[in-house]
Amino acid sequence: MNFSLDLNIYDRPCLDLTLKDTDKTTIHVTTPTVELSEEFRANFSKMEEVLKGNGAETTRYLYNLAAKLINCNVDFIKVTGDELLKKYRMTVEDLILFYHSYVSFIEAIEKAKN
């Protein structure tokens, strides 16, 4: 009986995210856990509040949620919502761009599975 494993045929999907720190850190974001995916989908509508400039608490929550999503990466890099804001200089507009790109990334993976 023969078994084989060819790691060349498995290419894990990634969203390459380059941050705005002085090193231009690139993080290869992968797919989230089921629970995190559900949390993301349930709270995506909060973007509208942030766009209107309402709710510092909501904005903080969305930075923290982005950090959780970014922490699902193949580089073993961990970030916090506060670091995204301060160290990586992610503006609210950047946050919105990240979320939109992330949605496209997840949708592309879901379409590929079907």
pLDDT band at 114 (very low <50, low <70, confident <90, very high): low
Q: What is the DSSP string of 12-29?
A: ---EEEE-SSTT--EEEE
Task: Tell me the pTM.
Answer: 0.87
Q: Does position 82 have pLDDT exceeding 70, yes or no?
A: yes
pLDDT at res. 54: 67
Could you give the residue ranges of the DSSP H alpha helices within 1-114?
A: 34-43, 47-51, 56-70, 81-85, 92-113
- State phi, psi for 16 to the nearest 5 degrees: -80, 115
Tell me what pLDDT residue 55 has: 76
pLDDT digits (tens, 9 = 90+) for 30-75: 999 989 988 888 887 777 777 777 678 888 999 999 999 999 999 9
Distance of CA 35 to the CA centre of its chain: 14
Task: Give the residue carrying structure tokens 């856990």.
Answer: 33
Residues forming beta bridges with residue 64, ordered by sequence position: none
Residue 68 to residue 47: CA distance in whole angstroms: 16
Mean pLDDT of 4-12: 83
Cβ–Cβ < 8 Å for 106, 37:
yes
